[in-house]
Structure 1
């Protein structure tokens, strides 16, 4: 059984961190592509106007129209992530990592390839459903990278075996880990609903859109309540708690910011609610479609949602350190048959 992250995992850990740092701006740029409807600015794929992706003249890209700048930049960042994933797989092999970690690295590589194919299909087929899937897969890849970085960190030793813990020690850990993974699942469902709001089918009715938006708002309230409960529990826990206090503070921060961004995004996109029409500031509000402020707020709301999911996964993995080690690995590398032996 793995009892710690060996020092030899240093380079896979660093590559995963670097990849996560590069992927977060990719989420931002992808959000801008949607906000400005720039997904079809470049009509061909995998090339760019007949050029190889990397051979497209940088002056034409950098000083060209904004929508081409955003779309081609999104492709370049995606290609860079793909190269980093190849390097991650090679490095994981080089350090003779255990089988589950090699499988995890291959899972990340397969996921980024899938994301690239979905992006290309979006261009070639111009389907909103593909755009929706593309928007839902991106956060999965990002948080999987974060999970890989967490489980390869030297500061992430798996705890003593479950059998050696008393019932009194196991019960609080089990409750926290279960609540944390449940919270992460709700956060991802919220991201899917947000993607559906941004990529609502053109054939849908106004009632369908209102229902999705209402459910999105209801889940936001639930997530806020869950985050407050989990965050305060972690922060007030006794010394030696399995989840770091900075994770609790980070969770409270990103969820609070998300609520503010959600309100501002709604106002900039759809104006103030009708019942506030008696207020002068609400009555005088003018919605400016595709404005810079609207695009930045919507994109920040999308990107910060991925940060919430990342914080939830970190919290879940740390809570699982005193739960079941096998559950940590299985939760970190879904859809794979993994083994906890080295």
Structure 2
């Protein structure tokens, strides 16, 4: 009976694509809400989960800033769960490409796991467990923060493969893309993941102002005069920003330096450059404004957008023809045959 509703095809489906884009935008709002909740230290305003003060709509939550931030975050996350369910069902019923369906299912699994991590982050906090240290709660905070980034990347990838450009292969080129270009893309993604992990460790350890000046330390140098765990986390985050910037610029340089990839991906290249410049400014402004909640939250959001953009840009290079020794070897016989004929 279910087979009556399954009508899969391989054509571009604008309604499904735009629903994926809407879900992606909803996730960005959710990420900002979570970042803002962390910035104002309101993550434990409710000690229970999944309810808030034993209620779906706790009394007075809108009037209190901390309660409003955390409960709005929970409501947005719940809605994302429903959106992910709709996406996975829609893909199951209408998408013919198996890998795209698997990506939709994987997205749903990520959203569910992310919700559970958010709950464990509350339930295993030392305010609930009574533990002397908060190792468990801190660990779940970091995993929850990283899960948000991976969820956004999965959604960005799903929207990309559902797009008309991807389906119709409008970015395919006649000349191949060297493997080194893809390697730079992967390196840039990994550098950003490490950098975001360091940022999460720093934020949740309260080390955002461990070095209160930028770009130099208070002593006027690059290295701090006095080291501690918060100072080390903060300094490593700055070092990670430099390494990630080099990796991203190297990747973009490889793409822009080739006329074929420049023509196919110029818009994406410009978008990543703009996000990178904005992210560097926001990182500096977060320190200059003594970690203003809006500035710090926007810095986290743009970092997530930057990761998703570099990730999808890297995926697009895998859609292009690959330059390999195998391809070269295939051309050799025809070349030799032409010379023989001549």
Class of the TM-score when normalised by the shorter of the 2 chains: 0.7 to 0.9
Where does residue 211 of structure 2 map in the other structure?
none
1:94 Cα deviation (Å)?
1.5
Indicate the residue corresponding to 1:176 in structure 2: 181
Match of 1:268 among 266, 289, 297: 289
SS of residue matched to 1:61:
coil
Match of 1:118 in 2: 117
Q: Which residue of 2 aligns with 1:29?
A: 33
Corresponding residue to 1:195 among 197, 200, 221: 200
Look up the match of 1:304. Answer: 302
Partners of 2:61 and 2:68 within 8 A in 1: yes
Question: Which of 2, 5, 16 is the aligned partner of 2:20?
Answer: 16
Alpha-carbon deviations, 1:247-306, whole Å to 9, x = none? 11111111111111111212333xxxxxxxxxxxxxxxxxxxxxxx61111111111100
Check conservation: 1:129, 1:201, Cα contact below 8 A: no
Q: Which of 53, 60, 74 lines up with 1:49 in the alignment?
A: 53
Q: Which residue of 2 aligns with 1:289?
A: none
Structure 1 residue aligned with 2:315: 317
Aligned to 2:48, what secondary structure does the other structure show?
coil
SS of 1:156's equivalent?
Answer: helix
Instruction: Give the match for residue 65 of structure 1.
Output: 64
Tell me the distance in 2 between the aligned counterparts of 1:11 and 1:118: 31
The answer as to whether partners of 1:173 and 1:320 remain within 8 angstroms in 2 is no
Structure 1 residues 157 and 173, CA gap change in structure 2 (3 angstroms): farther
Summarize the alignment of residues 84-123 of structure 1 with structure 2, pairs less than 5 Å apart: 84-123=83-122
CA contact (8 A) 2:187 2:247 kept: no
Counterpart CA distance in 2 for 1:201 and 1:213 is: 10
Query: d(CA) in 2 for partners of 1:242 and 1:322?
Result: 12
Q: Secondary structure of the equivalent of 1:43?
A: coil
Deviation at 1:236, TM superposition (A): 5.3
Residues 224 and 96 of structure 1: CA distance in aligned 2, closer, same or farther (over 3 Å)? closer
Report the structure number with the largest CA radius of gyration: 2
2:126 is the alignment partner of 1:130: no
1:230 deviates by: 3.1
CA distance in 2, matches of 1:236, 1:175: 13
TM-score, with structure 2 as normaliser: 0.76
How many positions carry a matched residue from both structures?
284
SS of aligned partner of 1:50: coil
Structure 1 residues 237 and 133 mapped into 2: Cα distance closer, same or farther (>3 Å)? same
Q: Is the 8 A contact 2:191 2:244 kept in 1?
A: yes
Q: What is the deviation of 1:158?
A: 7.6
CA distance in 2 between counterparts of 1:206 and 1:267 reads: 21
What secondary structure, in the 3-state scheme, does the structure 2 residue paired with 1:41 have? coil
The runs of 5 or more residues in structure 2 that have no matched partner are: 1-8, 126-136, 208-225, 323-342
Kindly indicate whether residue 241 of structure 2 is the aligned counterpart of residue 217 of structure 1: no
Would you say the 8 A contact 1:128–1:199 is kept in 2? Answer: yes
**Matched residue of 1:297: which SS?**
helix
The answer as to whether partners of 2:11 and 2:167 remain within 8 angstroms in 1 is no
Closer, same or farther in 2 for the Cα pair 1:200/1:41, shift >3 Å?
A: same
Q: 1:153 — aligned with what?
A: 163
- Give yes or no for contact 1:11–1:91 (8 Å, CA) kept in 2: no
RMSD: 2.7
Which residue does the alignment assign to 1:259?
Answer: 280
Contact 1:254 1:308 in 2 (8 A): yes
Q: In the alignment, is the contact (CA less than 8 A) between 2:16 and 2:90 conserved in 1?
A: yes
Other structure's SS at 1:44 match: coil
Specify whether residues 193 and 148 from structure 1 end up closer, same or farther in structure 2 by C-alpha distance, changes over 3 A only. Answer: same
CA contact (8 A) 2:256 2:262 kept: no
